[in-house]
Amino acid sequence: MSDIASLNSRFAIPGAVSVVSSNGNLPAIHINKPGLCSGTIYLHGAHVTAWKPEGAEEVLWLSQKSGWQNDKPIRGGVPLCFPWFGPRNSTEYPNSPMHGFARTKPWSIESISESPTSITVSLSLQNDASTMALWPVPFMLRHRITFSRELIMSLEFTHAAKTPIPFEEAQHTYFAVGDVREVKISGLSGARYIDKTDNFNEKDQAGDVTISAETDRVYLNTTSAITISDPVKRRRINIQKENADATVVWNPWIAKAKAMPDFGDEEWPHMLCVETANAGPNAVNLAPNQPHVMATRIAVSPL
């Protein structure tokens, strides 16, 4: 039996969930629950690439130029950054991949369950020789995603080290927007942020965030709900975070989009990353035997 057939025999739910060989022959779970929503999650990176409540437009953005390879992250959807965010600050491990290794590992399906109003997929990843060579920590990660009228993503980390383990993480969500130059992001006013486009200088946010140039910011100590108001798509995207002290806002704008091989030159106006994170000064230091769960809950409503 092929891997896909065997996964289907264990996890498919007739009329709602199937495992398919998708882009790049990577295994993906397709969800289509009539009256509720549709969605897709790849085992590669435990990466959600689509979610659409029935009757609404697709909420997540996915690049037409994304690569679909075992050793590359998918461009769009929700990459998981773990156990570091951005380039790793380490001379000891010079070959560390950007944003950690979790987004390029094959995760395992633990369970898929159905309720009248949702489908929940649980995927897991454990340390192996390749992760230990980069990050010598015995660990267990679980990404539990509930597809319903809302999208709820919950990333759980536990480790078996004897001492506290510092780490960073993000659910690096790419949202589909009509025109990024027209959107307003509320919920971050008054916060201090690190401006990665300006030599990592710290600045204060006054009022809503708007995008009029390359934007790459880590908003610190931000736990309130965030709303993206999109007058072109005429919708609001509401983002609630749990156990996530940082919020990253990113749009590459023109030159950086052109420089990325897996990002279309003309795609940047149509995406906006608002990322649930614990990064930089908001990194976590997790004591032994202490589960840590970071979560994002997303809902859409008309504007």
User: Is residue 44 part of the contact set for ligand BG6 (CB under 6 A)?
Assistant: no
Cis peptide before 261 (omega within 30 of 0): no
Integer Cα distance of 161 and 171 in angstroms: 24
Q: Is 264 an interacting residue with respect to ligand BG6 (CB under 6 A)?
A: no
> Among residues 66 and 146, whose Cβ is nearest to ligand BG6?
66
Select the residue interacting with ligand BG6 from 11, 12, 56, 86 (CB under 6 A). 86
Positions 194 through 253 that interact with ligand BG6 (CB under 6 A): 196, 216, 248, 250
Place of tokens 């690569």: 67
CB of 239 to ligand BG6, least distance (A): 15
**Considering the rule CB under 6 A, would residue 99 count as an interface residue with ligand BG6?**
yes
- Site residues (CB under 6 A) for ligand BG6, limited to 104-163: none
**Quick one: 73 or 269, whose CB is closer to ligand BG6?**
73
DSSP-assigned letters across all residues of 235-281: EEEEEEEES--EEEEEE-HHHHHHH-TTS-TT-GGGEEEEEEEE-GG
Best CA proximity match to 41, nearest among 86, 7, 87: 7
168 binds ligand BG6 (CB under 6 A): no
Binds ligand BG6 (CB under 6 A): choice among 5, 98, 259, 287: 98
Q: Which residue has the tokens 């690439």?
A: 49
At 142, the amino acid letter reads R
What is the end-to-end Cα distance of the chain in Å, rounded?
Answer: 49
Residues that bind ligand BG6 (CB under 6 A): 73, 86, 98-99, 172, 196, 216, 248, 250, 275
